[in-house]
């Protein structure tokens, strides 16, 4: 995690699996790296493999869910990444969403979606169902979700993307989210600051 950014833009990137050496994390880290190239942007990568998140109805005995929720509620925007398992998104990303409480920490926030799959059609089905869940809890799901097909052929063992076209699409997810934030969120904050300063 980095220090607080000067203009308050904070992006949370969630890795939606806990499998060691997973491709979802490789793709998510590529987005995080692209976000990190922009001045004034703080990036928090949330890796559920490093957390102990309770199942619904169970107590948060470690405080991990609370800490994760604090990051997500404080984020200007969120990127959710998931592998496609059996035609749907992962149980891990669903557990993350369940631990955001009600009202959800995603409510009112711009959310960009990233999916990876080993098959040729990519993670289309998982992204469609994840979009529905995110919209249901009040997130503003951005168009242009990125689906990576044949992901095992796109990244090498070190997590380097070997396909320039795919890398461009993945990095573009970061640009898409930041463009939305600059066009739709930052101007309102600036206007509010102007009104407050004139009222003093």
Q: Give me the CATH topology for the region 9-199.
A: Rossmann fold (3.40.50)
pLDDT digits (tens, 9 = 90+) for 56-104: 889 999 999 999 999 999 999 999 999 999 999 999 999 999 999 889 9
pLDDT at position 2: 36
pLDDT digits (tens, 9 = 90+) for 137-172: 999 999 999 999 999 999 999 999 999 999 999 999
Are the beta carbons of 104 and 139 closer than 8 angstroms? yes
6 pLDDT above the threshold of 80: no
pTM tops 0.85: yes
Give CA–CA dist 38/121, Å, rounded. 32
Give CA–CA dist 103/138, Å, rounded. 9
7 pLDDT above the threshold of 60: no
Give CA–CA dist 196/174, Å, rounded. 31
pLDDT digits (tens, 9 = 90+) for 169-180: 999 999 999 999
């Amino acid at each position: 995690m980095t220090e607080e950014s000067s203009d308050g833009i904070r992006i949370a990137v969630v890795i939606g699996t806990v499998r060691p050496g997973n491709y979802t994390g490789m793709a998510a880290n590529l987005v995080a790296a692209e976000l990190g190239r922009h001045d004034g942007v703080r990036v928090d990568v949330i890796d559920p493999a490093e957390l102990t998140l309770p199942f619904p109805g169970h107590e948060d005995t470690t405080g991990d869910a609370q800490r994760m929720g604090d990051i997500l509620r404080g984020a200007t925007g969120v990127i959710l990444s998931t592998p496609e398992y059996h035609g749907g998104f992962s149980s891990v990303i669903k557990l993350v969403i369940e631990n955001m409480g009600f009202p959800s920490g995603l409510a009112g926030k711009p959310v960009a979606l990233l999916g990876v799959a080993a098959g040729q059609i990519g993670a289309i089905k998982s992204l469609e169902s994840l979009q529905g869940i995110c919209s249901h809890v009040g997130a503003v799901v951005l168009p242009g979700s990125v689906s990576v097909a044949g992901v095992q052929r796109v990244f090498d063992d070190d997590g380097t993307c070997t396909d320039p076209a795919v890398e461009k699409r993945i990095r573009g997810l970061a640009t898409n989210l930041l463009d939305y934030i600059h066009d739709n969120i930052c101007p309102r904050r600036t206007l509010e600051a102007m009104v407050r300063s004139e009222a003093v």
